[in-house]
Chains A and B, each alone.
Chain A
């Protein structure tokens, strides 16, 4: 009996320990990221990803850290390698968690980064892909604020490119804002970004 208790205790402690390590690790990585220590943050998420093979979140964040860092990156080689890495990790996340709208939105972000870098080369092949990604994400999670916002921002960008009016999409931004207001992430590490940017765009809509 005692042995069994001990065994149980041991199992609980070690799983608590793992849980704890995961939270600590994720927290630390988020901190590094917020301090703009891009490489360290990406490395940390990468380490967590290799230790937590069944959890899509660290993979998702490796992709996200590298994608956001590449917007405005001037060094062409660095940018290409970052985006290649982001794609590799988002593909891994997709394998762990298929049909996940958050992952599809992130994948679309990677494509957007390629197009922002060189529209003439990547626009033709990737814009169609993004349309599909947002469509599928909207089918999977029609009330996810990032899906609604991501799609609206993408539509606005396309309209702008073709010299069209962007105001019809402002109501989608408004809707995204309402969804952001009530959105509760599953855990503290689940994606919970985008609200500030949506507010910013909503401001632009009003002006």
Chain B
């Protein structure tokens, strides 16, 4: 009995009173300022408290032996003290600031993003499609950003003095070999991809990551959506065609597809385009895209596929011929892109993927036919390890294969073939280091080995960012970039070298309260540019790599969506000073695609009463250089400036039906793209010229978009 009582007493003591110990101390940050409201507790127990206004804490515990004391606080790294409870007294704890992607410094030099991470995004997801004048082409929306030059008759991206071929497009990290629709000269093209399959768009105007190569100027990175939100069907009826799309979800798997038929004939018969052209059969295309996604516990698999068949038959004015010159084109394009991403337990991520494209063009020019076949493939493997939110490392390898063949046939049965084959093997390694919330660095390197030129290149890349104030930061980036000569050259001569640029970028960015300001100064040095001694590259041209050049400039971006209610606008200005000696230039000069000043202003207003979003965009491009053979100087004259004011109106008939109307160049500015001079002078010894103008000054578009979904709420506002 006695024993039992003793035991019980002991037991109760152990259980209830067990010698309460006090744990106490003070929590401060690295500059000794008390941290208020930090959570301090013994791991796995209820014992703990929050720090008071002086950063002090104190609590009692009945725990004994070795324990872990955790101190946690938003925006600081968690802190652990491990030791015997009796020693956890009068502690002096200093918390380290957590490196935080929301508030900390970001590596942004040269990069624009569209997405919902507002720290680095200058465009919101909707902007890509609600920008007046863009008409659903996300490439056109990107042309409102600084660093791009509007080349009205082309439609592709010309970045910082580079020509369109210097920009590469990637979907989920894999190369897209023909990102733009095939078209005729002087008829602007559009991106092949519908924006609504993508969740994020990163547009780099220079100094980009070592993961990407074979682009002298710029990369455009598109990421497909991981998991669609809901099942729905989209129907669109437009003045230029129609389309249907559907998304189906089964648990962790989903399939989205959309298909579109475009025919410009009805529009052309109503409002003919007749400035220097005659359509025999206007642009007609049928295209489709599908994405299949499967999400597992540890990984995600995606398969994207797109096909496009397009036809056009056009006659164009040409100063060298009495008659209009006929140009017929049939293009077929099939593209696959599949990727798999696997997340391992210890913060390793593996990304692997392959893309494959077949592209054929059948061209009829005069009586001749030209057949072009291009097959491209890209294989990639990448590993990434996140050691902490301060340090990560990624490395990978990739293989590109390009097979190009052109057959030129004359009506009398003559046949000329030109072709090349290239295997390009590359490897890259890159690391992000965040020294603190104020200072970060990205350091990378890339090696390329191309079989067609039998050449090996090493490109270093570095980018630094320093946060100078709460909302402002400076960034610097440097990198070397190599690219093989374009296929129009490689198919005639494979004894050339790769072309090279070096980028130097200095950037200042200020983001606060719905306002974004960016200014970026850059210098690009070009070396090893290909030159040839004929009008166009051809089988008997003599090629060399003696070309070179530079581009320097200043890009400014301003956006404000808070100051005026329901009103959002942004403005871009680009100054470009560039000269180069390349192609068949007889001396260094500013090329035709590089205007000195580019201004874009985009505005959007949501009018609740009218249930409408109204947008207005204006762009100004200073005169573009052209060469007048009647003068001694080379490329010394300039066209008049380009002006365009575009308007769009999206009206919500109800939550799922939208009526959309847009006009390009509302004010009907008579823009001039270029001048074409005769090859030979006339009897007076003067080279005559003709003005190359857009096929039509203005373009109208009307569409009706209807979404059918279970929730009866979603609509295609984001697809417009």
Contacts and interface: CB of A to CB of B under 8 A. Distances in A.
Contact of A50 (B44, B75, B124): B44
A42 B73 CA distance: 11
A135 B711 contact: yes
Interface string A21-62: 110010000000000000110111011101100000000000
A46 B718 contact: no
Nearest to B127: A120
A124 B714 CA distance: 9
B710 interface: yes
Interface stretch (B45-53, B252-260, B438-446): B45-53
B202 interface: no
B15 A127 contact: no
A171 B372 CA distance: 65
A10 B8 CA distance: 10
B229 A131 contact: yes
A64 B209 CA distance: 40
Interface in A46-84: 46-48, 50-51, 76-78, 80-82, 84
Given A47-B46, A120-B568, A162-B655, A39 B37 contact: yes
B659 interface: no
A185 interface: no
B125 A125 contact: yes
A129 B228 CA distance: 9
Interface in B1-59: 4, 7, 11, 15, 36-37, 39, 41, 43-46, 48-50
Interface in A85-120: 85, 118, 120
A124 B461 CA distance: 35
Dominant secondary structure at the B interface:
loop
B713 A131 contact: yes
Contacts of A76: 513
- B46, B229, B513 interface centre (most CB from chain A within 10 Å): B46
A129 B11 contact: no
B72 A121 contact: no
Nearest to A21: B46
Given A121-B116, A128-B230, A81 B74 contact: yes
Dominant secondary structure at the A interface:
helix
Interface in A123-175: 124-125, 127-129, 131-132, 135, 158, 162-164
Contacts of A46: 39, 72
Nearest to A163: B611
Nearest to B709: A131
B608 interface: yes
Contacts of A158: 655, 713
Contacts of A122: 116
Contacts of A42: 39
Contacts of B11: 6, 10
B125 A124 contact: yes
B41 A47 contact: yes
A148 to B, nearest CB: 16
A17 interface: yes
Interface string B208-235: 0000000000000000000001100000
B126 interface: yes
A51 B710 CA distance: 42
A8 interface: no
Contacts of B568: 120
Contacts of B118: 118, 121
A178 to B, nearest CB: 24
A125 B711 CA distance: 15
B37 A84 contact: no
A154 B229 CA distance: 16
B433 interface: no
B652 interface: yes
B46 A125 contact: no
B643 interface: no
Contacts of B48: 43, 47
B116 A85 contact: no
B72 A51 contact: no
A1 to B, nearest CB: 12
B39 A43 contact: yes
A81 B655 contact: no
Contact of B15 (A17, A80, A82): A17
A2 B4 contact: yes
Contacts of B713: 127, 131, 158
Interface in B83-137: 100, 102-103, 116, 118, 121, 124-126
A25 to B, nearest CB: 5
B17 to A, nearest CB: 13
B41 A50 contact: yes
Contacts of B74: 78, 81-82, 85
A90 to B, nearest CB: 16
A77 B46 contact: no
B697 to A, nearest CB: 33
Interface string B240-253: 00000000000000
A121 B103 contact: no
Contacts of A78: 74
A14 interface: yes
B561 interface: yes
- B48, B126, B199 interface centre (most CB from chain A within 10 Å): B48
A4 to B, nearest CB: 14
A128 B229 CA distance: 5
B126 A120 contact: yes
A70 B462 CA distance: 38
Contacts of B15: 13-14, 17
B41 A131 contact: no
Interface in B585-632: 608-609, 611
Nearest to B103: A77
Contact of B102 (A13, A14, A39, A80): A80
A25 B46 contact: yes
B245 to A, nearest CB: 15
B230 A124 contact: no
A81 B102 contact: yes
Contacts of B4: 2
Nearest to B227: A129
A132 to B, nearest CB: 6
A182 B639 CA distance: 78
A137 to B, nearest CB: 13
Interface string B561-588: 1000000100000000000000000000
A143 B609 CA distance: 37
Nearest to B52: A40
Nearest to A76: B513
- B50, B100, B230, B611 interface centre (most CB from chain A within 10 Å): B50
Contacts of A125: 116, 125, 199, 229
A50 B43 contact: yes
A157 to B, nearest CB: 11
A85 B116 CA distance: 18
A77 B716 CA distance: 32
15 contacts: A10-B11, A22-B46, A47-B46, A47-B48, A77-B75, A77-B102, A80-B102, A120-B561, A121-B124, A122-B116, A135-B710, A162-B611, A162-B652, A162-B655, A163-B609
Q: Which 3 A-B pairs have CB atoms at the shortest separation, nearest pair first?
A: A128-B229, A39-B37, A43-B39
Interface of A: 2, 6, 10, 13-14, 17, 21-22, 25, 39-40, 42-44, 46-48, 50-51, 76-78, 80-82, 84-85, 118, 120-122, 124-125, 127-129, 131-132, 135, 158, 162-164
Given A129-B229, A135-B710, 20 more contacts: A13-B15, A21-B46, A22-B46, A40-B37, A42-B39, A43-B49, A43-B50, A76-B513, A81-B100, A81-B102, A84-B102, A85-B74, A120-B126, A121-B124, A124-B126, A124-B718, A127-B713, A131-B713, A158-B713, A163-B609
